[in-house]
Amino acid sequence: MTAALTLESVSKRYGDFQAVRELSFQVEKGQICGFLGPNGAGKTSTLRMILGLQAVTTGSIDILGADDGRKVRDRIGFLPEERGLYKKMTPIDAIAFFGALKGLPQAEGRKRARDLLEQQGLGASRNKKMKELSKGMAQKVQLIAAVVHRPEFVILDEPFSGLDPVNQQGLEAMIRGLAADGATVLFSTHVMQHAERLCDKVVLLARGRKAFEGTVTEARATSPRFLELEGEISSAAVAALPGVSSVDHTGGDEAGVRILKATLAPGAGGQEALKAAFLGGLDVRRFELREPSLHDAFIGLTGDHPDQDTSTKALEASQ
């Protein structure tokens, strides 16, 4: 596969604040890559550097064969984190305008806008003013405006924020559609579930540093599997089971029923622990072997919680 995007030791400094540190990763052509991290991890700064909107402090970026995103801006589609369109424009005019800025002839832009709005169920609203549309509808229009010129590389900054579950599903389908048409998609998010469902590859970022780069399965594999047990059992009894490395009490009721999370040691399968629990006569009413989620992997890899705000935003903004 050929790389559509390569970052090599990219750093970004705002005054005394280091927003991005020695970041290197690659996205292959046609991949959907999730750029994950809590708010303030440096995702937006990185995306802006990729687009050429902000200069790198050190390091280099290669996107679609160019050393500056501005040189290939017509081949890139971008949806910023803070979204908005001209309130008095109609969706069809707005989409055609942004398409035209990317080199798409106006007539073709209007034709594609009509088709795409129809596909997204916005056909009836195409001639309404943007200010008359709901937030979800406006967000869809903006996404269409970002991809109407059929870019080779699509960058979406927190595309799911502010959308309800139905629209989130619709957006996921749209992203899959872009990749199916051959586009490379890089999107940032702090919600791991979207990345788990969509991504061929994820890059985890914490406090400006890369914490992981690989597939979702590889990311999960970095985190230990665990057992969830429920019953009138003690933590000590569970800790004594074979393969269990640690036990956490996660819930229970007044009747003495407890829910315990038993983390397995690397390589342990859980079968031996189950067998030992039965043989030991433990009062286990539920026994589940759980695979770690990307969320668990993120916490394991970075020590941060993906929903927390490790805010560099204020500092980013102040520069």
Partner 1 sequence: MNRILLIARREFMAYAKTVGFWLSLLAFPIFAVLGGALPILMQTSQPIRQVVLIEEGPAAAGLAAAVQDSFACDRERRLENRSEAQEAAAKAAGYAGGTAASEALNRIGGPRMQFVEVPSDLATTPSGEPREALARKYLGDEVPEAQQLDAVVFLTRGEDAPSARVWTRRATDDAVEDVVRAALRDAHRRDVFQTAGIDSSVVSAMEAFRPEITALSPQSASGGEVSFRDRLPGIVGLASGFLLWSLVITGASILLNSVMEEKSNKILEVLLSSASATEMMTGKVLGVAMLTGTVMLVWGGIGAFGLLTSFPQTAVDIGAVLMDGGLIFYFLAYAVGGYLMYAVLFAAIGAFCETPRDAQTLMGPIMMILVVPILVMQMALQTPDAAVVRILSWVPFFTPFLMSARAPSEPPMFEIVGTMVGMFAFTLLMIWLAGRAFRAGALSDVKLSWKSFASAMRGGS
Structure tokens at 271: 């079968």
Single-letter residue type at 79: L
Structure tokens at 53: 């909107």
> Would you say how long the chain is, in residues?
319
Q: How many residues bind partner 1 (CB under 8 A)?
A: 30
CB of 78 to partner 1, least distance (A): 4
Compute the distance between CA of residue 267 and CA of residue 77 in angstroms, rounded to an integer. Answer: 43
Stretch of residues binding partner 1 (CB under 8 A), selected from 99-107, 200-208, 284-292, 293-301: 99-107
Interactions with partner 1, residue window 25-64 (CB under 8 A): 48, 51, 53-55
C-beta neighbour count of 105 within 10 angstroms: 11
Among residues 2, 84, 253, 254, which is the contact residue for partner 1, using CB under 8 A? 84
CB of 313 to partner 1, least distance (A): 8
Q: Which residues pair with 10 in a beta bridge?
A: 23
Among residues 7, 39, 61, 73, which is the contact residue for partner 1, using CB under 8 A? 73
> Judged by CB, which is closer to partner 1: 147, or 204?
147
CB of 303 to partner 1, least distance (A): 28
Indicate whether 184 belongs to the interface with partner 1 (CB under 8 A): no
Query: Which secondary-structure segment (H or E) carries 53?
Result: none
Indicate whether 127 belongs to the interface with partner 1 (CB under 8 A): no
Label residues 220-257 b or e (16+ Cβ within 10 Å = b): bebbbbbbebbbebeeebbeebebbeebeeeeeeeeee
Give contact residues for partner 1 (rule: CB under 8 A). Answer: 48, 51, 53-55, 70, 73, 76, 78-80, 82-88, 97-98, 100-103, 142, 145-146, 317-319
